[in-house]
C-alpha cells in the first residue's frame, strides 16, 4: 500500500517514487498496474515543486530585512487543500511546519549567510516536495554611508576662516592708547590698564636713571677738574 511519495526534483517525474518504509521503486525495473501508476502520477502532480526566492535580494546588506518565500501553487481542483511550509539552512531546520509560505529575517547578519531551501507538504503530510537550494550571502554595511561623514569637514575648515576675517575688526581702537601716551604707541588691539601702569612705572624709572646719570656726569666733571689741578700743581713743587 502506497503511504508517502517524496519528490526532490521536478513535479511529474515518474522515474523515482519513495515510499514510507524507505523503498525506492523505479518504473524501469518494475512493472506497475495502471491504477497504481495513475495514483502515483496524481500524487506527483498534486502541486509543483516549490521555488525559494529572497526579497529584496539574495545578497542583502548587513542590518537590512530579508524575506524568504516558498512559492508553489495548488491546482484549482485542489484549491481546498492546505499546504504547510518548512525552511532549512545548511541542513538544519530554521522554521518547522507553518501555513505561512514566508520566513522573515528582520535584520540580516553574517550568521544568516548560508544555503537555504524550503519544503511544502500537504496537511496530512502524505505528499511533500523540496525546493532547489538558494545561497544567501550577507554583505557588509553600505559604503554609501561614508560620504555624509566627510561632508562636515569643509564646514569645520570654514570656521577658522570666519575667525581670521574677524580678527582685523578690533584694530581701530589702536589710536586710543597712543593719544594718552604719544611717545609709546601700543600695538595691542584692546587697552590693558595693567600694561599702562607698567609703562608709567617704566617711564618713571627711566627718568630717575636719567637724573642719576646727570648727577654722575656732574661728579665726573668735578673729579676730572680736581685731577687736572693736581696734575698741574705737581710739577711746580719739583
What tens digit of pLDDT does each residue of 22-76 get?
434 444 444 455 555 545 555 556 789 999 999 999 999 999 999 999 999 887 7
User: What pLDDT sits at residue 30?
Assistant: 46
CA-to-CA dists, residue 154 to 76, 160, 185, 238, angstroms:
65, 11, 40, 97
Q: Are 98 and 86 in contact (CB under 8 A)?
A: yes
Contacts with 224 (C-beta within 8 Å, 6 or more apart), sequence order? none
Domain boundaries, the chain: 5-44, 51-136, 176-237
Which architecture, in CATH terms, is 51-136?
Sandwich (2.60)
Contacts with 83 (C-beta within 8 Å, 6 or more apart), sequence order? 47, 72, 74, 99, 101, 120, 121, 122, 123
Cβ neighbourhood burial of 70 (10 Å; 0-12, 13-18, 19+): buried
> What is the model's pTM?
0.45
Low-confidence ranges of the chain (pLDDT < 70): 1-45, 142-191, 234-238
DSSP state of 47: S
Amino acid at each position: 500500500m502506497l503511504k508517502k511519495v517524496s519528490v526532490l526534483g521536478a513535479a511529474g517525474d515518474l522515474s523515482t517514487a519513495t515510499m514510507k518504509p524507505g523503498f525506492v521503486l523505479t518504473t524501469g525495473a518494475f512493472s506497475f498496474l495502471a491504477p497504481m501508476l495513475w495514483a502515483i502520477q496524481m500524487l506527483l502532480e498534486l502541486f509543483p515543486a516549490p521555488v525559494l526566492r529572497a526579497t529584496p535580494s539574495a545578497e542583502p546588506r548587513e542590518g537590512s530585512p530579508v524575506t524568504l518565500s516558498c512559492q508553489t501553487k495548488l491546482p484549482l481542483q485542489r484549491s481546498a487543500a492546505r499546504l504547510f511550509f518548512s525552511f532549512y539552512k545548511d541542513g538544519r531546520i530554521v522554521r518547522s511546519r507553518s501555513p505561512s509560505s514566508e520566513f522573515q529575517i528582520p535584520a540580516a547578519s553574517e550568521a544568516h549567510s548560508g544555503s537555504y531551501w524550503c519544503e511544502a507538504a500537504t496537511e496530512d503530510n502524505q505528499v511533500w516536495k523540496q525546493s532547489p537550494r538558494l545561497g544567501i550571502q550577507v554583505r557588509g554595511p553600505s559604503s554609501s554611508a561614508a560620504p555624509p561623514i566627510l561632508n562636515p569637514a569643509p564646514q569645520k575648515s570654514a570656521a577658522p576662516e570666519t575667525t581670521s576675517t574677524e580678527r582685523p575688526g578690533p584694530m581701530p581702537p589702536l589710536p586710543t592708547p597712543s593719544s594718552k601716551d604719544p611717545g609709546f604707541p601700543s600695538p595691542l588691539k584692546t587697552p590693558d590698564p595693567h600694561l599702562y601702569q607698567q609703562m608709567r612705572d617704566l617711564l618713571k624709572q627711566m627718568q630717575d636713571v636719567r637724573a642719576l646719570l646727570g648727577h654722575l656726569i656732574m661728579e665726573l666733571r668735578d673729579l676730572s677738574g680736581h685731577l687736572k689741578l693736581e696734575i698741574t700743581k705737581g710739577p711746580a713743587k719739583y
